[in-house]
Amino acid sequence: MKIIIMKQKKVALISVSDKEGLIPFAKGLVDLDYELLSTGGTAAELKKAKIAVTEVSKYTKFPEIMDGRVKTLHPKIYGGILALRDNKVHIKQAKKHNIKLIDLVIINLYPFEATIAKDDVTEDEAIEQIDIGGPSMLRAAAKNYQHTTVITDKKDYSKVLKQLRENGEVKESLRRKLAIKIYERTYRYDRTIAEYLRGEKNQDELLDLHYVKVGSLRYGENPHQKAAFFNNPDNSDSNVTNAEVLQGKQLSFNNYIDADAALELVKDFSEPTAAVIKHTNPCGVASSKDIDKAFKLAYEADPLSAFGCVIALNRKCTEEIAKYISKNKLFVEIIAAPAFSKESLKIFSRRQNLRLLKVGKLKKDQFRRDIKKVAGGILVQSEDTHVVAAKDLKVVSKKKPKINEIEAMLFARNVVKHVKSNSVVFAKKLRDGSIVTTGIGAGQMSRVDAVFIARHKGGDSIKGSSLASDAFFPFADGVEQAYEAGATSIIQPGGSIRDDEVIKKVDELKISMVFTGIRSFKH
């Protein structure tokens, strides 16, 4: 391939929303005798750092218009990016129209994903963060990767600078990799926009799943199964995928699943809350005025089942929690929390097999899909993000629940949706205002068996508790068992053909019951 040389400096076009790493990269290019072209915001940042730059509008002799919606859509930009250096006609046309050949294109897109992740963002605000010129220039440069180097990921700045310094050019193998990265990025960007404008993500007629392999796992659910972990690169949620592993060995297949279950549970609570998980089901959950008390109550709710557990906290892990775990020599597989105090990390450092996951500020993606695989296909639904509140309750019994019972019922209801069906959860509000699970029955074929198991596990601690059921009671026998265990109130969706029979039994037993109208099966 013969390159036809035009007498000009090498040119780099830079237009970035995320300006991290911009200045040292730009200085590196100037040191290599590159001329910089840039748009308004980026140009201002470069000028502030006293880096020579030509604004695109000055080069094209056409101003940025329509509030910046139109600024780079110009033949002098696209001609410079797309010109084939080994094509005499292209070079002749470039000279005729005073088009500078653009050797480097550095662009990251308007932060559309981050914008729609904000609370209460309007559609107009979201639409203004749909980048037009950025994806167009990226795709043009990627198409011409044999002559043009294109960067959208700031992590690639150093790779490109290194090759320019060592070779005077970027090797074609790297240019090709960067081009592939562009098409993957613009594909995900456009898909996110389409999904947002579609609104109901679970109503997709076309489902595109894009995951990147993070790494192979030692094995799957069992040692004879092979496994790997894949990450959705577009997710901006606080989750296991995005967690920073502060210490500990590689997470296993089951570790990822349990840690995910634990984190999703504590996200549903605004008060300091701790959850202790085994095989995706909670052994104990508690909310209190501080996370230390919440953790202690959650662990002590069922310490026998908690052996080898995963713990999730919705507040920073403290020194007190670390001391409690260390002093009592608790066998804990993973602790996931928004952050860890320095003191807790020092204590945990003596237990190198304990995995610590720092997940940052907890937030939920309200548009997340729940995907389940069956042989030959997948099932897709919107995530169950609904949190039942006091306003959702309908009192159906003669006896009205007390305020403490309502609070305990809502707590138990928000826990039971995270327990495998059929499931029930007993919970009680304590004198100090804390609320804790007192018995959990998970994954039973009949609801009465779930109550029986929860009653067996809770024992005397159930007296004075409230019971939450993930679905309606088909018969009154489950209500009778709950009463015999010591429950004083019940929360359930309602909707059974025998609701009248169940309500009658509740009234005979002189306990209260409310309906939510919302079922929360978890298969």
Contact residues for 156 (Cβ-Cβ < 8 A; gap 6+): 178, 181
212-238 burial string, b = 16+ CB within 10 Å, else e? eeeeebeeeeeeeeeeebeebeeeebb
Beta strand ranges found along 189-247 (DSSP E): 212-217, 227-231, 244-247
How many angstroms separate the Cα of 102 from the Cα of each of 36, 62, 179? 10, 18, 15
Measured from the Cβ of residue 513, the count of other Cβ atoms closer than 10 Å reads 28
How far apart CA 25 and CA 16 sit, in angstroms, is: 12
Contact residues for 208 (Cβ-Cβ < 8 A; gap 6+): 191
What interhelical angle do 172-198 and 157-167 show, nearest 10?
160
Cα torsion 294, 297, 302, 304: sign: positive
Whether 210 is catalytic is no
How far apart CA 67 and CA 87 sit, in angstroms, is: 37
Contact residues for 499 (Cβ-Cβ < 8 A; gap 6+): 396, 472
Alpha helix ranges (H) inside 417-498 = 447-458, 477-485
Q: Of all helices (H) and strands (E), which one includes residue 372? A: strand 369-374
How far apart CA 469 and CA 448 sit, in angstroms, is: 10
How far apart CA 132 and CA 348 sit, in angstroms, is: 49
How far apart CA 294 and CA 297 sit, in angstroms, is: 5
Q: What share of the chain is helix, strand, coil (3-state, %, to 5)?
A: 40, 20, 40
Residue from 279, 364, 420, 463 carrying the catalytic annotation: 279
Peptide bond into 422 cis (omega under 30): yes
How far apart CA 363 and CA 10 sit, in angstroms, is: 45
In the three-class reduction of DSSP (H, G, I as helix; E, B as strand; rest coil), residue 482 is classed as helix
Whether 97 is catalytic is no
Alpha helix ranges (H) inside 279-402 = 291-300, 319-327, 342-348
In the three-class reduction of DSSP (H, G, I as helix; E, B as strand; rest coil), residue 145 is classed as coil
Residue from 10, 19, 27, 143 carrying the catalytic annotation: 143
Q: DSSP letter at 61?
A: T
How far apart CA 133 and CA 507 sit, in angstroms, is: 67
* Residues annotated catalytic, as ranges: 143, 279
